[in-house]
A and B are shown apart, each in its own frame.
Chain A
């Protein structure tokens, strides 16, 4: 398939890390060696982190790694969604002629995977037993990376960034790293997203690349802006010849960039940002590279769409909790009125309703007033 870095030096440096899901202390460290990708998972695989894990599996597969070793050394628990993500990844890896190997340190986790058809797809090995095709140095590297991440303090939790946003940024960071590594001629990549009405760079492979994005926001023009707003891809084949972005192009060339490919990111079908791939070589991106960029953009779009669904869920949950609180207060007030006036539950409701209707206050506000009153029936009709 697309495994461009096979036989070359590791394109990421030592590894790529994704994660730091503040709710569950979740993290994944990915390293790549020969034809195998190693994913070391830390923390709980819950619905939010399963999303990250799923997109990571997809990105790894899109990059041409059919064989994946997943380490679950510290995994405390896995829920149904996590299992579904892992099972789906396993079956697709098998279909590509590869497979998924999972290593556990806990027999409890192993038992979760010991389910008929799943066990056929996934070859699992309890930690300590030998694992085929994996050199000790590679295992050591993956484990060391996990240890490094575990020690890092989680400052973003304090900054109040939501778990979903955090997980999304992490997943997009991984997509950027994989896109940069997998697309021939790419010297850097970034993801632009529209947040609170403004375009921001949420992931960039280095500071030159984030400067490239910043220059576009500052001049108000450039392929990443056009792709983000118009929802279609923009390709600056050679910035020396480029006429569409006269203010931005010279700034880009001053930083050594000669070609840009911006693919739109969609959330639930709406344009929300762009995946930008930058090259120092003019005409670096041919059809093949464009197709590959589209694969990664589609991947990032899937993460964004799923995250939006999670955000809607969270909003619904909050509204439901609010409705429950209102219901409780009203029930309490009904109880007070029933005791004071010797009326039925429905009559107590009517009393509250009349109070609300005549005062213009909501029924909940009147109910709070009744519950808050300790004196006998100041509100009696």
Chain B
């Protein structure tokens, strides 16, 4: 589940038109505690975020999608009991 989840996050980041730095700033604003480097590692699937961290990232992305006129397309940890690969 780690790698697909990371893929979803990074693809969403690209769809949202956010750079890694911009996403980190939004994640940080929402209370995220990981460094920009750690965040990149989550997105590349090199590190696994805690489910809380995952949700903060997902919410940062979702707020961006809301700004762009979308809903909340990025799933949260408790929305995705299992991701088939």
Contacts and interface: CB of A to CB of B under 8 A. Distances in A.
Interface of A: 319-320, 322-324, 326-327, 330-331, 334, 346, 349-350, 353, 356-357, 360, 362-364
22 contacts: A319-B25, A320-B25, A322-B29, A323-B25, A323-B29, A324-B29, A326-B29, A326-B30, A330-B29, A331-B31, A346-B52, A349-B52, A349-B56, A350-B55, A350-B78, A353-B55, A353-B59, A353-B76, A357-B59, A360-B66, A362-B63, A364-B29
Interface of B: 25-26, 28-31, 52, 55-56, 59, 62-63, 66, 72, 76, 78
Centre residue among B31, B55, B76, B78 by max chain A CB count within 10 A? B31
A195 B61 CA distance: 34
Contacts of B76: 353
A350 B29 CA distance: 15
A330 B31 contact: yes
Contacts of A362: 63, 66
B66 to A, nearest CB: 7
A357 B62 contact: yes
A334 B31 contact: yes
Given A327-B30, A331-B31, A356 B59 contact: yes
Nearest to B25: A323
Given A349-B52, A356-B59, A327 B72 contact: no
Contacts, number: 41
Given A331-B31, A360-B66, A323 B26 contact: yes
Contacts of B28: 323, 327
Nearest to B60: A363
A331 B56 CA distance: 13
Contacts of A324: 29
Contacts of B31: 327, 330-331, 334, 349
Contacts of B25: 319-320, 323
User: Which 9 A-B pairs give the minimum distances between C-beta atoms?
Assistant: A323-B29, A326-B29, A346-B52, A330-B31, A323-B25, A327-B29, A357-B72, A353-B59, A362-B63
A323 B21 CA distance: 13
Given A330-B30, A357-B62, 9 more contacts: A327-B28, A334-B31, A349-B31, A349-B55, A350-B78, A356-B59, A356-B63, A362-B63, A363-B59
A364 B66 CA distance: 14
Contacts of B52: 346, 349
Contacts of A320: 25
B84 to A, nearest CB: 24
A363 B66 contact: no
Contacts of A327: 28-31
A140 B72 CA distance: 70
Contacts of B63: 356, 362-363
Contacts of B59: 353, 356-357, 363
Contacts of A323: 25-26, 28-29
A321 to B, nearest CB: 11
B6 to A, nearest CB: 20
Contact of B30 (A319, A322, A360, A363): A363
A364 to B, nearest CB: 8
A77 B58 CA distance: 46
Nearest to B77: A350
A183 B62 CA distance: 59
Contacts of A322: 29
A363 B59 CA distance: 9
Contacts of A331: 31
A217 B19 CA distance: 39
Nearest to A361: B66
A340 B31 CA distance: 20
A47 B62 CA distance: 38
B69 to A, nearest CB: 11
A353 B72 CA distance: 11
A40 B82 CA distance: 71
